[in-house]
């Protein structure tokens, strides 16, 4: 008996080029050995709903869309006792998470890998409110770039849209008095950025190297940037970030499986590039190996 596959498409996600390749990518999926069923999402949250309601019927789910679509599918999967394997065809604007997984930027090649690849465990992040994320939760400068850039601009020009928004935010660095608690640190200070990640990319603009990140080790990579008191300190922060050394008294970089943030005023968070609300507290947990993610087979 052939294995069953649910193919989920978000028709509004990502670049025009990626959407224009959908039929070719779909051909790769439908010509596979799976019995394939196509579902096209109709509204925000629809992917999470269809996976939560029907996902246990399938052996593998493949989604075509951006990181936001993937986030929805993972949220649906985490409500299932029997979780199918998950394949991903990145068709978004920046596809930060896909890059960390080593997935192809070519939707047709990614589709072929999604049906022929091998599944392996992957950590999933969970918030204290029971929402899940695949690769990053963050606050402060740069984080608004992913959702404040207009969707039509992101679709048209891609990554530069995020870069433009990030540069704009430098002109108005806002600091937050935050108490950060984990098994590794207990610190209260003025921070301009905080990122909790399971990826080689934080907030679309800050990159980590592959040897700094293991996406199935049960811990997050945490990057906290304190508010600089001078241009010299700001320069040290920039150099520390882009050299990947994080050598600055204003940068904290560590790994943890559980972390809590408390702020004296409500502050905005993003999760997987989408606005996640304004809160005074945010608690995050790493769910070790919670899903099985399909990656390209070794050559």
**Tokens standing for 181?**
């608690």
Q: At a CB cut-off of 8 Å and minimum separation 6, what does 97 contact?
A: 67, 70, 90, 134, 135, 199, 201, 272
For residue 167, what pLDDT is reported? 42
The label of the residue with tokens 């050598």 reads 247
CATH number where 214 lies:
2.60.200.40
For residue 59, what pLDDT is reported? 98
For residue 16, what pLDDT is reported? 64
For residue 173, what pLDDT is reported? 72
For residue 14, what pLDDT is reported? 65
Which DSSP string do the residues of 27-82 spell out, in sequence order?
HHHHTSSSEEEEEE--STTHHHHHHHHHGGG-SEEEEEE-HHHHHHHHHHHTT-SS
Query: Could you tell me if 209 and 100 lie in one domain?
Result: no
Expressed as residue numbers, the domain containing 91 is 4-116
CB-based contact 146:203 (threshold 8 Å): yes
Query: Could you tell me if 172 and 61 lie in one domain?
Result: no
Query: Could you tell me if 47 and 178 lie in one domain?
Result: no
For residue 289, what pLDDT is reported? 97
Query: Could you tell me if 147 and 262 lie in one domain?
Result: yes
SS3 sequence, 131-188? CEECCEEEEECCCCHHHHCCHHHHHHHCHHHHHHHHHHHHCCCCCEEEEEEECCCEEE
- 48 belongs to a structural domain: yes
Query: Could you tell me if 109 and 145 lie in one domain?
Result: no
CATH number where 60 lies:
3.40.50.10330
Rounded to 5°, angle at Cα 146 from 140 and 149: 115
Largest CA distance in the chain: 67
CB-based contact 223:252 (threshold 8 Å): yes
- CA 134 to CA 298: how far, in whole Å? 23
Tens-binned pLDDT, residue by residue, of the chain (299 aa): 689 999 999 988 766 666 688 999 999 999 999 999 999 999 999 999 999 999 999 999 999 998 889 999 999 999 999 999 999 999 876 667 787 788 998 999 999 999 999 999 999 999 999 999 999 999 987 655 444 445 454 444 344 444 444 444 444 578 899 999 999 999 999 999 999 999 887 655 677 887 888 999 999 999 999 998 888 888 888 788 878 888 899 999 999 999 999 999 999 999 988 888 999 999 999 999 999 999 998 75
Phi then psi for 222, rounded to 5 degrees? -115, 130
**Tokens standing for 280?**
């005074």
Count of structural domains within the chain: 2
């Amino acid at each position: 008996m052939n294995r069953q596959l649910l193919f989920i498409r978000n028709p509004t996600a990502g670049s025009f080029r990626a959407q224009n390749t959908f039929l070719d990518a779909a051909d790769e999926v439908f010509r596979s050995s799976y019995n394939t069923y196509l579902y096209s999402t109709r509204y925000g949250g629809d992917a999470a709903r269809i996976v939560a309601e029907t996902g246990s019927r399938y052996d593998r789910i493949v989604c075509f869309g951006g990181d936001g679509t993937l986030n929805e599918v993972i949220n649906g999967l985490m409500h299932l006792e029997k979780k199918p394997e998950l394949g991903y065809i990145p068709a978004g604007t920046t596809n930060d998470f896909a890059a960390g997984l080593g997935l192809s930027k070519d939707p047709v090649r990614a589709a072929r890998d999604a049906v022929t690849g091998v599944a392996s465990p992957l950590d999933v992040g969970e918030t204290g409110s029971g929402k899940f994320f695949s690769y990053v939760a963050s606050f402060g400068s740069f984080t608004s770039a992913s959702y404040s850039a207009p969707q039509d601009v992101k679709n048209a020009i891609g990554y530069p849209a995020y870069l433009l928004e990030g540069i704009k935010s430098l002109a108005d660095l806002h600091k937050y008095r935050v108490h950060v608690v984990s098994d590794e640190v207990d610190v209260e200070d003025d921070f301009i950025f905080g990122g909790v990640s399971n990826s080689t990319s934080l907030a679309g603009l800050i990159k980590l190297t592959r040897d700094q990140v293991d996406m199935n080790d049960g811990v997050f990579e945490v990057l906290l940037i304190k508010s600089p008191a001078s241009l010299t300190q700001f320069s040290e922060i920039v150099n520390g970030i882009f050299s990947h050394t994080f050598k600055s008294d204003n940068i904290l970089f560590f790994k943890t499986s559980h972390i809590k943030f408390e702020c004296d005023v409500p502050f905005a968070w993003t999760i997987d590039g989408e606005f996640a609300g304004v809160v005074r507290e945010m608690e995050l947990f790493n769910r070790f190996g919670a899903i099985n993610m399909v990656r390209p087979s070794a050559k």
